[in-house]
Amino acid sequence: MSVEIEINLSAAAWESFDSLEGLVRRCVDASLAETRAKLFEGCELSVTFCNDAEIQELNAEWRGKDKPTNVLSFPTPGKLAARPLLGDIVIAYETVAREAAEQDKTLSEHTAHMVIHGFLHLIGYDHETAAEAEEMEGLERRIASRLDLRDPYAEGEDEAGELNEGHVDTI
């Protein structure tokens, strides 16, 4: 199963990041392998790497929270296996870079975690309840392990329910 990925850079800070496309591809492939999600053949995913100002606007518009966040997911409405467009993931540079430094992680590691987290939302995972958070966090850990990344929830990182104080379910 292949997912077509469109990468959009809307913040200059991301331009210095080596191989965002390769990072996203590895995260998506590992997520699909771990979850065994059934997707529309040739489905598409858009990932926008932006700044805090842009994600704050989106967060205010779609979630009513006028502050930046690390990642937002915008799943395309409809049945997962029957839609060609999975949705959009938006990741903010300043917030992700600050969190990476606070958690003693590389920017690449934390960005990978945000891609994984956002992608899991697009394919139907959530962390609104304790049980959902436990399931999603476990998946994130296993996917990170597949990629030889450190446990994204090791000491210093919030629990899944607090990682991203929510997300956009549908546009």
Three-state secondary structure along the chain? Answer: CCCEEEEEECCHHHHHCCCHHHHHHHHHHHHHHHHCCCCCCCCEEEEEEECHHHHHHHHHHHHCCCCCCCEEEEECCCCHHHCCEEEEEEEEHHHHHHHHHHCCCCHHHHHHHHHHHHHHHHCCCCCCCHHHHHHHHHHHHHHHHHCCCCCCCCCCCCCHHHHCCCCCCCC
Q: Is residue 168 part of a domain?
A: no
pLDDT tens-digit series, residues 78-113 = 665 556 889 999 999 999 999 999 999 999 999 999
Q: Is residue 145 part of a domain?
A: yes
Residue 171: band (very low, low, confident or very high) from pLDDT cuts 50, 70, 90 = very low
Q: Residue 1: its pLDDT value, please?
A: 63
Q: Residue 84: its pLDDT value, please?
A: 81
Q: Residue 165: its pLDDT value, please?
A: 47
Residue 122: is its pLDDT beyond 50? yes
Comparing 47 with 41, which gets the higher pLDDT?
Answer: 47
Q: Is residue 58 part of a domain?
A: yes
Q: Is residue 171 part of a domain?
A: no
Q: Is residue 132 part of a domain?
A: yes
Q: Which domain holds residue 97?
A: 4-163
Residue 115: band (very low, low, confident or very high) from pLDDT cuts 50, 70, 90 = very high
Residue 53: band (very low, low, confident or very high) from pLDDT cuts 50, 70, 90 = very high
The domain spanning residue 78 has which CATH number?
3.40.390.30
In the chain, how many domains are there?
A: 1
Q: Is residue 169 part of a domain?
A: no
Q: Residue 83: its pLDDT value, please?
A: 60
Comparing 40 with 52, which gets the higher pLDDT?
Answer: 52
Taking the whole predicted model, whether its pTM rises above 0.85 is answered as: yes
Q: Residue 80: its pLDDT value, please?
A: 59
Q: Is residue 29 part of a domain?
A: yes
Q: Residue 79: its pLDDT value, please?
A: 61
Residue 38: band (very low, low, confident or very high) from pLDDT cuts 50, 70, 90 = confident
Q: Is residue 170 part of a domain?
A: no
